[in-house]
Structure 1
Amino acid sequence: MNISNIDIIKSSGEKVKFSLEKLRASLKRSGADEHVVNQILDKVHDELYQGISTKEIYNRAFALLKKNKSHFASKYKLKKAIYELGPTGFPFERFVSAILDYSGYKTEVGTILQGKCVSHEIDVIAHKNSEATLIECKFHSDQGPNCNVKIPLYINSRYLDVKANWTKTSKDKASLTEGWVVTNTRFTQDALEYGNCCGLYLLSWDYPKNNGLKDRIDRLGLYPITVSTLLTQREKQFLLSRSVVLSRELINDKFYLDHLGVSETRKKKILDEISQLCSS
């Protein structure tokens, strides 16, 4: 079978040609070695057919990685794990805040600020070096929608309204220097063009190149609790409700696992998976 002629169906319904190299790159990103990656590619190759969905390919590759080592599978499912932070956007806001905290910022989540015209609830305010950044998070709980130009247009108008009244509302005399829009999906081309033109900083799953959300998460080892392949959905939701958003937070807050009634044997497996993931 010539795999370059295989059409696969994306979650959006779009039909594209299967790329072995894209699958190879995503598998290598999990930390699996060349031998494991090649084994999985061979098995997926044998199961390809015209019109197979990207979800089917992902599920097969995920199952094979999990069979090998669970922390490889955890890293591989990162994008899906971000969607699982939903259905509301609040855990995603906490997640973005945590990434910035580990990057040297001091952050506040869900602050009300008075603009020149109206008041605004700001998802995240980040402080660093006497400068403040206003950050709006646009979370999608499924893979369909991207952020179109209406999003940065709206956020920029809010940013300008707050900026016009900043000197009256700022408590620490920090300068308001930048507005950000962060999404777990992608920006359309016109959204990128508008954001770059008006001076908004745009951060998405894979933008800016080599410094998108996935790159920052991998670089800092800041994986959401939802990447775990060993925690149940109910356990993940319980932890999120207790503001345990990062996997590494569970290492210090392991008493939550006791509260959930997790056995000592299973607790050790969960914590080993997280330790290997965060240090990989």
Structure 2
Amino acid sequence: MKHTNLRPKPKFRIIKSSGEIEKFSEKKLRNSLRRSGLKEKDCQRISKTVSSSVLDGTTSKDIYRKTIKLVKRQSPIAAAHYSLKRALLNLGPTGYEFEHFVGKYFENQGYQTSVGVTLQGGIVRHEVDVVASKPNYNIYTECKFHNNGGKKNDIKVALYVKARWDDLKNGPDGKYLRGYALATNTVFTKDAITYAEGVGLLLLGVNAPEGETFLDIIKKHKLYPITALVRLKKVHCKELLKREIILCSELLTEDKLMLKIGMKPEEVSTVIKDIHTLLGL
């Protein structure tokens, strides 16, 4: 009886956007594809195709580019789901657009919001990125936007935000301050999460709070940013963001605006169609 020597697949190391090095996992890639809503056979096919091109030193950015290209070809809607982390990174470059996205998040929770408000603390004045208000109940939010997905928000950021919270509570504008939040388009370190839980600081990011992260909320409440639309050209997306059009749902009534910024009628139709499918309309 002949025995076939099956060579194990080589364990290639890839470079993450943070600069960290980790072993490439085809299983991890395949699981991320499953979360996009692709059919199993497509997840298997795409993960195998992309995995075959990975070598030692390949960057996670290169892997993403190859993957999203194949996903987009299969399904623009699955591509929108797959690219949600990237969509949050593209709410820049200054972070002003991300602040407005956070405002939309709180509006979805029933709050009235204001962006970029200067308030008086007990000792000094503070610019608060997002103020979310209900009768006699305010939540102030500090936004930390990063262009690099590998940038983590550590405990120093949480400590800084808590210090601002304490000063604002003791000022004239802190009468109805009931909560303080730290929102980011990337992740928090374990220490930052542990500290925030201990002092009652609300964290909003890619990995917190558990089960209610931005990625979870976007899917649950259909708060897809326009940067998730893979068939919306970057130049047009940029123009729309300048006009404070943040969510896909806001584009449904902006046909004239899309034409005004240079989109062709067929491009407008394609985008509207994708939004309808994405929102389940």
> Is the TM value for this pair above 0.5?
yes
Q: Does 1:125 align with 2:131?
A: yes
Tell me what 2:114 maps to. Answer: 108
Deviation at 1:4, TM superposition (A): 6.9
TM-score between the two structures when normalised by the length of structure 1: 0.91
Tell me what 1:11 maps to. Answer: 17
3-state DSSP of counterpart to 1:88: coil
Deviation at 1:190, TM superposition (A): 2.5
* Aligned CA distance change for structure 1 residues 50 and 190 (closer, same or farther; 3 Å): same
Say which is worse superposed, 190-199 or 179-188, in terms of deviation: 190-199
Tell me what 2:105 maps to. Answer: 99
Contact 2:16 2:150 in 1 (8 A): no
* Aligned CA distance change for structure 1 residues 129 and 28 (closer, same or farther; 3 Å): farther
1:164 counterpart letter in structure 2: N
Tell me what 1:237 maps to. Answer: 238
Deviation at 1:192, TM superposition (A): 2.1
3-state DSSP of counterpart to 1:104: coil
Q: 1:5, 1:252 → 2: CA distance?
A: 50
**Identical pairs, percent:** 36
Contact 1:9 1:52 in 2 (8 A): yes
Deviation at 1:45, TM superposition (A): 2.8
* Aligned CA distance change for structure 1 residues 242 and 177 (closer, same or farther; 3 Å): same
Say which is worse superposed, 176-185 or 226-235, in terms of deviation: 226-235
Unaligned ranges ≥5, structure 2: 1-6
Unaligned ranges ≥5, structure 1: none
Matches for 1:230-269 after TM superposition, within 5 Å: 230-269=231-270
3-state DSSP of counterpart to 2:129: strand
Q: 2:10, 2:188 → 1: CA distance?
A: 28
2:207 counterpart letter in structure 1: D
| Stretches of 4+ aligned residues off by more than 3 angstroms | 1-4
Task: State which of 169, 172, 175 in structure 1 corresponds to 2:173.
Answer: 169
Q: 2:184, 2:8 → 1: CA distance?
A: 36
Say which is worse superposed, 125-134 or 109-118, in terms of deviation: 125-134
Task: State which of 38, 41, 52 in structure 1 corresponds to 2:44.
Answer: 38
Q: Does 1:158 align with 2:159?
A: no
Tell me what 2:218 maps to. Answer: 217
Say which is worse superposed, 259-268 or 94-103, in terms of deviation: 259-268
Instruction: Provide the aligned length of Structure 1 versus Structure 2.
Output: 275
1:169 counterpart letter in structure 2: D
Q: 1:160, 1:3 → 2: CA distance?
A: 54
Q: 1:19, 1:277 → 2: CA distance?
A: 29
Matches for 1:201-216 after TM superposition, within 5 Å: 201-216=202-217
Q: 1:105, 1:279 → 2: CA distance?
A: 25
Q: 2:8, 2:20 → 1: CA distance?
A: 21
Contact 1:138 1:183 in 2 (8 A): yes
Q: 1:37, 1:12 → 2: CA distance?
A: 26
**RMSD of the alignment, in Å?**
1.9
Task: State which of 141, 151, 174 in structure 2 corresponds to 1:145.
Answer: 151
Contact 1:221 1:278 in 2 (8 A): yes
Q: 1:12, 1:241 → 2: CA distance?
A: 29
